[in-house]
């Protein structure tokens, strides 16, 4: 069982910037409290306001799969649906 790192980047459509900001901030704390979460950090791009980057570390694929089914994450998915210009998710394995 190896750790899984996730980098997720999303950019709000300009007319939904306040909604997306609220949604990304709301999902952080409950995600940090999950069993199997090692790190769950949220960043905003300095040069592109409204672009957010999550950096996550999960203890295992199973922990990440559980996260995807939680009520707070499912609400987040609903809250951002149709309000993003960009959504890119990368799952990474640390090699060095």
The DSSP secondary structure of 4-55, one letter per residue, reads EEEEEEEEE-GGGHHHHHHHHHHHHHHHHTSTTEEEEEEEE-SSSTTEEEEE
Instruction: Say what the pTM is.
Output: 0.93
Confidence of residue 1 (pLDDT cuts 50, 70, 90): low
Confidence of residue 84 (pLDDT cuts 50, 70, 90): very high
pLDDT tens digits, 15-57? 999 999 999 999 999 999 999 999 999 999 999 999 999 999 9
Q: Which fold does the domain 4-92 belong to in CATH?
A: Alpha-Beta Plaits (3.30.70)
Mean pLDDT of 77-89: 98
Helix (H, G, I), strand (E, B) or coil at 72: helix
């Amino acid at each position: 069982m190896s750790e899984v790192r996730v980098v997720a980047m999303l950019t709000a459509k300009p007319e939904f910037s306040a909604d997306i900001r609220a949604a990304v901030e709301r999902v952080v704390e409950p995600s940090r409290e999950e069993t199997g979460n090692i790190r769950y950090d949220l960043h905003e791009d300095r040069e592109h306001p409204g672009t957010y980057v999550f950096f996550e570390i999960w203890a295992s694929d199973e922990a990440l799969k559980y996260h995807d089914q939680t009520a707070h994450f499912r609400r987040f998915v609903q809250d951002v649906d149709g309000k993003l210009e960009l959504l890119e998710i990368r799952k990474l394995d640390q090699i060095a």
